Each structure stands twice: as C-alpha cells, then as structure tokens.
Amino acid sequence: MGAIGGDESVQWDKMNGAEVVNGGGSGAGSLDRIQVLVRVRPLSDKEIARGEPAEWECINDTTIMFRSTFPDRPTAPTAYTFDRVFHSECSTKEVYQEGVKEVALSVVGGINSSVFAYGQTSSGKTFTMTGVTECTVADIYDYINKHEERAFVLKFSAIEIYNEVVRDLLSAENTPLRLWDDAEKGTYVENLTEVILRDWNHLKGLISVCEAQRRTGETFLNEKSSRSHQILKLTVESSAREFLGKDKSTTLV
C-alpha cells in the first residue's frame, strides 16, 4: 500500500506513540520497501438482499482465505498471505493507524512516499482513501504545530486519469495535460495547478472541488461509482527557522 526508505536510512522520533521520520531522506533505492495490505469490505445491502454469501475470510492479521460459492465451479479453499489483512469490521482509522501512518508521515522527514488503493468497482477504494487522506493530513498538521523550530510550506495538486487522458482537477478547463520525463525533475505533468495551502480547512475545500469534478457513473454494484483514477499530491517543504536566509539553510522536500 506504500513504499518508504528502509529503517537504516532514518531515525524515528516517537512522539505520543506516533512514529515520524526525523532523519535524512537520501536512502538508496535498495532500501525502499513496498507493503501490500488487504482490506475486506462488508457485504452491501444489495448483496445481503440477494442472499449472497461472503467469499473472503480473514484467518489472522496476515492471511486471507477464499472460498468459492459457485456450485458449478467448486474449488478448494485457497489462502493468501500479505503484510497485513483487515477484516470487514475494521474501521478506516484502524487501517490508517496500523498500516499506513508510518508510510504517510515519512514525508515530513523529506522522504517520498506513496499510498494507493487497487481493486475492482465497488470494492471501497474511494471510501478508504478518503479516510486515509483525512487522517494523514490531520497528523501532518499536528506534527507541524509541534515542531515550531521548522518553517513548513505545503503544496497541493490533483489529477484525474480517464480513458488515458490526464486532467487537472483544480482547474475549470477540460484541456488534456501532457506527461513528461525530465532528467532532473523526473516524471511530471505539464501546466498542472499547484496550490500553496493556508491550513487544513483550505485543503478540505480543494479536495471537495476535486471530488465534484471527478467522473462518476452507475454500475451494477454501485449507484455512484468513480469511473476514473485520481491522484492527489501533497508536497511538504520544511527548513530550520534559525538558518532561514543564511547560506547554511537547507530544505527537506
């Protein structure tokens, strides 16, 4: 569900039980690690009304089992193991605290991280990622408030990918954007809007704008299903206040 630099490249500042990166962010690619988490959603009202059984069962915190309910395709139960498995009664807060928080908060220490949801239509991707986003940003602002010795700047951008077309969700224009590879910048989207955030409420408003602009449609499983991919990017820059404006000033990004 995400990737961060390995433990060898960072030092952790354990603050009120929260693990936050406190070291440099120059870990080599060999130290990157990817974690795969699985969250099982409960049956929907429609599925319950149709009498459909649950085919997935969480055996423990890392193992999930599939039992086919199709009489014409009987198969033996199959177990799969992942870094973490969350049963249908787990809240999004639990998913964030136990599986995402360490990855998400690594950005305050200058480490790039990514958290994304993958699954079929109506599997709960938007629901889960909305909650994860809220928890992540709340914790980032909490970290900022507790570290007044550093000056922080947060920037936000958002894109939608629909039918192989990239669109700026913070722009009223519907013009497709171009994707470029640059030796210094890496992969970037040309002419993408990037907004400097004032506070948490400002970001909430921008996310609402993004949700309103996303393409949705009705499916057999979901009356209002997201029909596109959405990517939210939060850039966190910080500098030690005592060195601001001086030659020794360095910025973590």
Give the annotated binding-site residues for ATP. Answer: 119-126
Beta bridge partners of 252: 238
Tokens (6 digits) for 128: 């889960």
Binding residues: 119-126
Return d(Cα 253, Cα 238) in angstroms, integer.
Answer: 7
**Residue type at 162 in one-letter notation:** Y
Angle at CA 90, nearest 5°, toward 127 and 17? 100
The neighbour count for residue 241, using CB atoms within 10 Å, is 12
The backbone torsions φ and ψ at residue 198, rounded to the nearest 5 degrees and listed phi first, read -85, -45
Of the candidates 226, 156, 222, the residue with the CA atom closest to the CA atom of residue 193: 156
Is residue 10 within 8 A of residue 109, CB to CB? The reply is: yes
Is residue 227 within 8 A of residue 121, CB to CB? The reply is: no
Return d(Cα 253, Cα 26) in angstroms, integer.
Answer: 11
**Residue type at 76 in one-letter notation:** A
Is residue 250 within 8 A of residue 242, CB to CB? The reply is: no
Residue 193, helix vs strand vs coil: coil
